[in-house]
Copies of this chain bind each other. A is one copy, B any other.
């Protein structure tokens, strides 16, 4: 029932999509936030014809929860863009600990960190039922050579992701980390036109911990503490930020990317 409500409120109805479908970016709902979408949208000043651009996304496919988009060490044939849903990227270290490198949401492009090695450096998994766009890498690189829009957008995208990654380095208190994580989610949700207070966490406590460098127990404890301080309220995987300004203070007012 909770789930049905979510589906109805979602950006589009999953049922209407074929499992494999030829898609174009022109009509995409998250085109505003997405790299291919941005490029297509700015087509006017672009040296490429509309056909090439709309074919940047080769196809789209539904992935179910815990289904892999790709495995570590596979050849890097595609980048992925998230149309709806969410994914995590992770690798397993020599002591069998899972390290999540990033979470991805609608409009995000996946795989940028792996390009130099020409193979996937991480496993990529859907956190919930998700609609994923396939961007053939060779075509992308071709278009990248031809379109100044792609170039500009790509540099900005890389630059942002790099800065974001830098901001995760160093040592922080558990509370600070978690608050920043939540504010980051909120920021991105807002950018996508969703609520900035109501967050739906598609990943488990363990995943959050793995991303932030904490144990799932610590994540749980900090959430409980924030709940007691009335800064957030929690309903299963739904978190409501009750006092954004107070949270910004706790998180150190980091200008999120």
Contact = CB atoms under 8 A, between A and B. Distances in A.
A99 B214 contact: no
Contacts of A161: 162
Nearest to A168: B169
A184 interface: no
Q: How many copies does the complex hold?
A: 2
Q: What does DSSP make chain A's interface, helix, strand, loop or mixed?
A: helix
A99 B162 contact: no
Interface string A228-257: 000000000000000000000000111001
A112 interface: yes
B94 A253 contact: yes
Interface residues on A, range: 35 or more
A122 B170 CA distance: 14
- Counting chain B CB atoms within 10 Å of each CB, the highest count among A95, A160, A171, A214 belongs to A171
Given A95-B252, A252-B95, A166 B166 contact: no
Given A165-B165, A165-B168, A169-B211, 17 more contacts: A94-B253, A99-B170, A100-B170, A101-B166, A112-B158, A116-B159, A116-B163, A122-B166, A144-B151, A144-B155, A154-B155, A158-B162, A161-B162, A162-B165, A170-B210, A170-B211, A170-B213
Interface of A: 93-95, 97, 99-102, 112-117, 121-122, 144-145, 148, 151, 154-163, 165-166, 168-171, 210-211, 213-214, 252-254, 257
